Amino acid sequence: MKLLTMTLQAPLMTFGVSGFSSIRETLHFPSRSAVIGIVASAMGIRRNESRLVELHKKIKVHSSMRKSVKVDREYNTVRVAKNSQVTESSGLQYSQDVAGTLQIFRQLIHDNSFRVVLEVSDDTLADEIEQALLDPVFVPYIGQRSCVPTKPLIAAVSEQSIIESLVVSEFDEGCLYLDTSVNQATQYLKEVEIDGWSPFQVIGTETITDYLVGPARIYASREVTIVGYFSTVLV
């Protein structure tokens, strides 16, 4: 198992998990599907390839947020041709009998930066990811093509623990989003305790539907444990 760290930083980014409905919301932290999508595009893996499902099986995505998230909504219109197939968020598909215009309201995160740790179970795959991000096959973006990163998406191997890899400096304050259960997250936190004291505290969980289990964009749910932390310098 290897840990790879990377930074997602951009003027605009989105981590949508609500499907294809007219109102497309974003998570306040990087989704598994978005991060693994970046990795897959760098490796030249397309959406309909079975290797994408394999990446989801072998990679866990942990992240940290050090800055409060500002979310705005943009308005788009999409021209739909006659007899085109339309897919609702429920998975229902139907044919558009007449040409028309769809209205889409999409949420976007403004001017932020996230630290991401990839927990890769296969060392060979981790090496492939590291090299692919240095020379990506497809141009990377964060959530949609207009969300271009302002910092190179380079993965670096971390010899530290998952928690230590997520916290950039001792001045940090914010939240960790761990791709694991509360019990496992608690074990991670015990590894960084100082004489029984820790600046970290589990504050809750969230269920996210962003774990790809089928090539036809079939997603399963996973549990994310949210951990709050504060600057050790102020203690």
* Residue pLDDT, tens place only, 146-190: 899 998 888 899 999 999 999 876 556 789 999 999 999 999 998
**Rounded mean pLDDT, 101-125:** 91
**Is the pLDDT score of 235 beyond 50?**
no
Residue 19: its pLDDT value, please? 59
Q: Where are the beta strands (DSSP E) in the chain?
A: 2-13, 23-24, 59-65, 70-80, 85-87, 93-95, 100-120, 156-158, 174-178, 200-214, 218-229
**Is the pLDDT score of 114 beyond 90?**
yes
Range of the domain at 7: 2-234
**Is the pLDDT score of 23 beyond 60?**
yes
Q: How many CB atoms lie within 10 A of CB 156?
A: 12
Distance CA 197, CA 45 (A): 44
Residue 171: its pLDDT value, please? 52
229: tokens are 């932390």
The mean-pLDDT minimum among 81-90, 163-172, 214-223 falls in 81-90
Residue 21: its pLDDT value, please? 66
Residue with tokens 């290797």: 51
**Is the pLDDT score of 215 beyond 90?**
no
Distance CA 212, CA 36 (A): 10
Average pLDDT of the chain to the nearest whole number = 85
**Buried/exposed 89-126: b ≥16 CB within 10 Å, e otherwise:** eeeeeeeeeeeeeeeeebbbbeebbbbbbbbbebeebb
Q: How many CB atoms lie within 10 A of CB 138?
A: 13
Residue with tokens 């044919």: 95
**Contact yes or no for 202/211 (Cβ under 8 A):** no
Number of domains forming the structure of the chain: 1
Q: For position 65, which CATH number holds?
A: 3.30.70.2660
